[in-house]
Protein backbone atom coordinates (compact mmCIF):
# COMPACT_ATOMS: atom_id res chain seq x y z
CA UNK A 1 0.00 0.00 0.00
CA UNK A 2 1.32 3.41 -0.98
CA UNK A 3 2.07 5.92 1.75
CA UNK A 4 -0.09 9.02 1.76
CA UNK A 5 1.41 12.44 1.22
CA UNK A 6 -0.19 15.37 3.01
CA UNK A 7 0.32 18.71 1.22
CA UNK A 8 0.33 21.38 3.90
CA UNK A 9 2.76 24.00 2.60
CA UNK A 10 4.27 24.99 -0.70
CA UNK A 11 5.25 27.97 -2.78
CA UNK A 12 2.22 30.16 -3.60
CA UNK A 13 -0.09 28.15 -1.31
CA UNK A 14 -2.21 30.01 1.21
CA UNK A 15 -0.91 29.44 4.71
CA UNK A 16 -3.72 28.57 7.09
CA UNK A 17 -4.00 28.64 10.81
CA UNK A 18 -6.72 25.97 10.41
CA UNK A 19 -5.74 22.32 10.92
CA UNK A 20 -6.15 21.18 7.29
CA UNK A 21 -4.12 19.75 4.45
CA UNK A 22 -4.40 21.55 1.13
CA UNK A 23 -4.41 18.11 -0.47
CA UNK A 24 -3.82 14.44 0.22
CA UNK A 25 -2.14 12.22 -2.36
CA UNK A 26 -2.80 8.48 -2.20
CA UNK A 27 -2.44 5.76 -4.84
CA UNK A 28 -1.76 8.21 -7.66
CA UNK A 29 -4.77 10.36 -6.82
CA UNK A 30 -4.70 13.92 -5.47
CA UNK A 31 -7.67 15.10 -3.42
CA UNK A 32 -7.60 18.91 -3.16
CA UNK A 33 -9.38 20.65 -0.29
CA UNK A 34 -11.71 23.55 -0.99
CA UNK A 35 -9.84 26.62 -2.23
CA UNK A 36 -11.13 30.13 -1.71
CA UNK A 37 -10.18 33.62 -2.82
CA UNK A 38 -7.30 33.97 -0.36
CA UNK A 39 -3.73 35.17 -0.76
CA UNK A 40 -0.51 33.41 0.25
CA UNK A 41 -0.93 34.61 3.84
CA UNK A 42 -4.39 33.05 4.06
CA UNK A 43 -6.14 36.43 3.96
CA UNK A 44 -9.47 36.61 2.14
CA UNK A 45 -9.38 38.75 -1.01
CA UNK A 46 -12.85 40.14 -1.72
CA UNK A 47 -13.87 40.93 -5.27
CA UNK A 48 -16.46 40.26 -7.92
CA UNK A 49 -17.57 36.66 -8.33
CA UNK A 50 -15.31 36.33 -11.38
CA UNK A 51 -12.28 37.72 -9.50
CA UNK A 52 -12.85 35.46 -6.51
CA UNK A 53 -13.37 32.41 -8.74
CA UNK A 54 -10.17 33.16 -10.67
CA UNK A 55 -8.19 33.31 -7.42
CA UNK A 56 -9.82 30.11 -6.13
CA UNK A 57 -8.91 28.28 -9.36
CA UNK A 58 -5.38 29.73 -9.20
CA UNK A 59 -5.09 28.31 -5.68
CA UNK A 60 -6.43 24.94 -6.86
CA UNK A 61 -3.80 24.81 -9.62
CA UNK A 62 -1.04 25.85 -7.17
CA UNK A 63 -2.01 23.02 -4.81
CA UNK A 64 -1.97 20.54 -7.70
CA UNK A 65 1.52 21.73 -8.70
CA UNK A 66 2.77 21.46 -5.10
CA UNK A 67 1.51 17.87 -5.07
CA UNK A 68 3.24 17.05 -8.37
CA UNK A 69 0.11 17.06 -10.54
CA UNK A 70 -0.90 19.07 -13.60
CA UNK A 71 -4.15 20.83 -14.42
CA UNK A 72 -4.78 18.30 -17.21
CA UNK A 73 -4.86 15.50 -14.65
CA UNK A 74 -8.00 16.87 -12.99
CA UNK A 75 -10.84 14.38 -13.38
CA UNK A 76 -13.40 16.04 -11.12
CA UNK A 77 -14.04 19.60 -9.96
CA UNK A 78 -16.59 20.56 -7.32
CA UNK A 79 -17.65 24.21 -7.19
CA UNK A 80 -19.65 25.72 -4.34
CA UNK A 81 -21.25 29.12 -4.95
CA UNK A 82 -23.39 31.34 -2.77
CA UNK A 83 -25.54 32.42 -5.73
CA UNK A 84 -26.50 30.22 -8.70
CA UNK A 85 -26.82 33.39 -10.77
CA UNK A 86 -23.03 33.08 -11.06
CA UNK A 87 -23.30 30.04 -13.39
CA UNK A 88 -22.41 32.11 -16.47
CA UNK A 89 -19.15 33.16 -14.80
CA UNK A 90 -18.44 29.56 -13.72
CA UNK A 91 -18.99 28.33 -17.28
CA UNK A 92 -16.84 31.10 -18.75
CA UNK A 93 -13.92 30.27 -16.47
CA UNK A 94 -14.37 26.56 -17.09
CA UNK A 95 -14.05 27.04 -20.85
CA UNK A 96 -10.98 29.25 -20.33
CA UNK A 97 -9.17 26.81 -18.03
CA UNK A 98 -10.12 23.50 -19.64
CA UNK A 99 -10.03 22.68 -23.36
CA UNK A 100 -13.10 21.27 -25.04
CA UNK A 101 -13.03 17.49 -24.93
CA UNK A 102 -10.63 17.59 -21.94
CA UNK A 103 -12.88 19.12 -19.28
CA UNK A 104 -13.09 17.34 -15.93
CA UNK A 105 -16.44 16.16 -14.62
CA UNK A 106 -18.01 18.89 -12.51
CA UNK A 107 -20.65 19.71 -9.97
CA UNK A 108 -21.84 23.16 -8.98
CA UNK A 109 -23.93 23.59 -5.86
CA UNK A 110 -25.37 26.62 -4.14
CA UNK A 111 -24.48 26.86 -0.46
CA UNK A 112 -25.81 29.15 2.26
CA UNK A 113 -22.39 30.51 3.13
CA UNK A 114 -18.63 30.10 2.80
CA UNK A 115 -15.71 31.00 5.07
CA UNK A 116 -14.82 34.72 5.15
CA UNK A 117 -18.12 35.48 3.43
CA UNK A 118 -16.62 34.29 0.15
CA UNK A 119 -18.63 33.83 -3.02
CA UNK A 120 -17.02 30.63 -4.36
CA UNK A 121 -15.02 27.59 -3.27
CA UNK A 122 -13.34 25.14 -5.67
CA UNK A 123 -12.24 21.57 -4.88
CA UNK A 124 -10.84 18.92 -7.16
CA UNK A 125 -9.57 15.40 -7.71
CA UNK A 126 -6.65 14.64 -10.04
CA UNK A 127 -5.25 11.29 -11.12
CA UNK A 128 -1.83 10.40 -12.53
CA UNK A 129 -2.73 8.41 -15.62
CA UNK A 130 0.02 7.37 -18.03
CA UNK A 131 -2.60 6.45 -20.64
CA UNK A 132 -4.10 9.96 -20.76
CA UNK A 133 -3.49 11.68 -24.08
Domain span at residue 30 reads 5-127
| Residue 132 maps to a domain | no
| Residue 32 maps to a domain | yes
Q: Residue 78's CB: how many other CB atoms inside 10 A?
A: 17
pTM of the model: 0.92
Tens of each residue's pLDDT in the chain, 133 residues: 568 999 888 777 888 777 889 999 999 999 999 999 999 888 999 999 999 999 999 999 999 999 999 999 999 999 999 999 999 999 999 999 999 999 999 999 999 999 999 999 999 999 997 555 5
| Residue 9 maps to a domain | yes
Contact 29, 46 (CB under 8 A): no
Query: How many domains does the chain contain in total?
Result: 1
Q: Residue 49's CB: how many other CB atoms inside 10 A?
A: 20
Domain at 34, CATH number: 3.30.1330.40
Amino acid sequence: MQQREYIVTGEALPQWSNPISHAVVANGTCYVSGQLSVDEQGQYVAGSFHEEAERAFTNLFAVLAAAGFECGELVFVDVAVTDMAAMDAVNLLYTQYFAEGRRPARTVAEVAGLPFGGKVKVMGTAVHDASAG
